[in-house]
């Protein structure tokens, strides 16, 4: 926790040095201290300089970070455009390279019922669903990370903490072990989803205290449940016949290979709906920085908000993990990276994290299928390789700057 506190402090460090202290009144102008109070008396009425110009009308206030609404809108547009271009570029990259203009043309002609050649099949049936699912999964993971970090007031919160990720792996692995697939091709995603929900329900049940959900208990329960389910998963994977070990590993490390169109729809809807809902709750999430007491006094029903946010997060994670396996670090890393640049205001953090997460995972998936051809690298391996140095970098920067 101590180091997590410090990670949070990193983003502030830059500004600390620029603060002007000259406006401090009391000690500087002793003559005016406790004089008769004017109408509408103010605390420290001594300052005459009228420094109210510090807040501009661009809505800079309440952002927690310089940069007005236009900067935020610009970032949204830029990230969306970048994501659009990346989707097309990523569709072109793979064992068979297809130039960017050709991909764009094939996509445009797809609606017009153009004849299907091999390149059309690769673009439309193999790569596009995979790339889109990557974007959906990345957006979902990053959104959930931002939500959980706000709701649990813990910068280290991520889907593993609510048990959903490891539960999904166990659910999928159990079905593989039983070798019974009652729902055909949907059996694995469904069992992963059910596993996620079961583990989450266990964590939720354990984290109740006095009828309310206690963030501290939730984290402890989540760590314990995750450790247990991961141990069981590992045991099953190690004792499963050789051939199936690889597909079981997929659930623990994540991957998007073999994605088909039917895998994309439900996760996309769930992630979009959850992100939109979370954005409408973002200012209430902001209130949580004042603690449960302070947020309550701002009209936020803390326990209800926390429970709903966590349940929605678990649904998103269950849905996403069911199609992509457990991809680590994205949920943890993306919100932190966005916070460094855009500040901690959840009204901005959530949409920007969703877009950044989508962008990141699209490119990580390109790496997964390009770096070790013809084999694929599990996505979770790449995100961990990227994520660990990222955190070390945060720590080093933080250590250099320190706090006053």
Dist. CA 39–CA 342, nearest whole Å: 39
C-alpha separations of 376 from 340, 359, 372 in Å: 32, 19, 6
Q: Which stretch binds other proteins (CB under 8 A): 47-55, 77-85, 91-99, 265-273?
A: 47-55
Tell me how far apart the terminal alpha carbons of the chain are, to the nearest angstrom.
Answer: 20
CB of 45 or CB of 104, closer to other proteins: 45
Which residues have CB under 8 Å from 34's CB, separation 6+?
Answer: none
CB of 59 or CB of 205, closer to other proteins: 59
State yes or no: residue 23 binds other proteins (CB under 8 A).
yes
CB of 59 or CB of 117, closer to other proteins: 59
- The residues with which 209 forms a beta bridge, in sequence order, are 212
C-alpha separations of 278 from 144, 221, 374, 380 in Å: 9, 24, 40, 26
Is residue 302 a contact partner of residue 292, using CB atoms and an 8 Å limit?
Answer: yes
State yes or no: residue 41 binds other proteins (CB under 8 A).
yes
103-142 mask for other proteins (x: CB under 8 A)? Answer: ----------------------------------------
> Of 68, 114, 102, 141, which is closest to residue 365 (Cα–Cα)?
141
Is residue 353 a contact partner of residue 80, using CB atoms and an 8 Å limit?
Answer: no
Dist. CA 337–CA 391, nearest whole Å: 10
Angle at 330 between CA 352 and CA 124, to 5 degrees: 80
The DSSP letter of residue 60 is: -
330-349 mask for other proteins (x: CB under 8 A)? Answer: --------------xx-x--
State yes or no: residue 215 binds other proteins (CB under 8 A).
no
State yes or no: residue 40 binds other proteins (CB under 8 A).
yes
Of the candidate residues 279, 314, 334, 364, the single one contacting other proteins (CB under 8 A): 279
CB of 147: closest distance to other proteins in angstroms? 15
Of the candidate residues 77, 108, 393, 403, the single one contacting other proteins (CB under 8 A): 403
Dist. CA 54–CA 131, nearest whole Å: 45
State yes or no: residue 397 binds other proteins (CB under 8 A).
no
State yes or no: residue 52 binds other proteins (CB under 8 A).
yes
Q: Which stretch binds other proteins (CB under 8 A): 26-34, 90-98, 157-165, 177-185?
A: 26-34
State yes or no: residue 211 binds other proteins (CB under 8 A).
no
145 preceded by a cis bond (ω within 30 of 0): no
State yes or no: residue 284 binds other proteins (CB under 8 A).
yes
C-alpha separations of 107 from 89, 130, 349 in Å: 12, 14, 31
Dist. CA 224–CA 199, nearest whole Å: 11
Of the candidate residues 63, 191, 229, 313, the single one contacting other proteins (CB under 8 A): 63
State yes or no: residue 402 binds other proteins (CB under 8 A).
no
CB of 339 or CB of 369, closer to other proteins: 339
State yes or no: residue 353 binds other proteins (CB under 8 A).
no
Q: What are the residues binding other proteins (CB under 8 A)?
A: 5, 8-9, 11-12, 15-16, 18-26, 33-34, 37, 39-45, 47, 50-52, 54-55, 57, 59, 61-66, 69, 279-280, 282-284, 286-287, 289-291, 293-294, 296-301, 344-345, 347, 403-404
């Amino acid at each position: 926790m101590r180091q997590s506190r410090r990670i949070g402090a990193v983003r502030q460090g830059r500004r600390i040095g620029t603060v002007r202290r000259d406006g401090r009144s009391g000690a500087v102008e002793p003559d005016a201290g406790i004089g008769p109070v004017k109408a509408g008396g103010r605390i420290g009425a001594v300052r005459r300089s009228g420094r109210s110009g510090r807040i501009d009308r661009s809505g800079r206030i309440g952002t927690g970070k310089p940069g007005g609404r236009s900067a935020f809108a610009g970032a949204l547009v830029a990230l969306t455009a970048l994501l659009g271009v990346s989707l097309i570029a990523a569709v072109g990259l793979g064992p068979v390279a297809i130039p960017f203009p050709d991909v764009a043309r094939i996509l445009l002609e797809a609606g017009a019922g153009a004849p299907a050649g091999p390149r059309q099949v690769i673009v439309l049936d193999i790569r596009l669903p995979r790339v889109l699912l990557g974007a959906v999964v990345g957006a979902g993971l990053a959104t959930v990370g931002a939500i959980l970090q706000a709701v649990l007031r813990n910068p280290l919160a991520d889907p593993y903490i609510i048990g959903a990720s490891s539960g999904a792996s166990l659910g999928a692995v159990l079905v593989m072990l039983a070798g019974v697939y009652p729902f055909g091709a949907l059996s694995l995603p469904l069992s992963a989803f059910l596993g996620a929900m079961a583990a989450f329900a266990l964590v939720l049940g354990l984290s109740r205290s006095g009828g309310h959900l206690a963030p501290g208990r939730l984290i402890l329960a989540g760590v314990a449940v995750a450790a247990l389910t991961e141990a069981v998963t590992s045991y099953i994977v190690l004792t499963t016949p050789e051939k199936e070990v690889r597909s079981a590993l997929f659930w623990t490390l994540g991957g998007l290979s073999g994605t088909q169109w039917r895998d994309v729809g439900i996760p996309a809807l769930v992630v979009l709906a959850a992100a939109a809902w979370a954005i409408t709750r973002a200012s209430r999430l902001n209130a949580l920085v004042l603690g449960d007491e302070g947020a309550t006094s701002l009209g936020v029903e803390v326990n209800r908000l926390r429970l709903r946010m966590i349940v929605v997060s678990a649904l998103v994670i269950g849905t996403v993990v069911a199609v992509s396996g457990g991809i680590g670090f994205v949920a943890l890393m993306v919100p932190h990276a966005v916070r460094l640049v855009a500040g901690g205001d959840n009204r901005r953090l959530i949409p920007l994290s969703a877009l950044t997460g989508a962008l990141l995972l699209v490119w990580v998936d390109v790496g997964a299928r390009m770096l070790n051809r013809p084999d694929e690298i599990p996505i979770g391996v790449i995100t961990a390789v990227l994520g660990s140095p990222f955190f070390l970098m945060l720590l080093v920067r933080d250590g250099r700057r320190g706090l006053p």
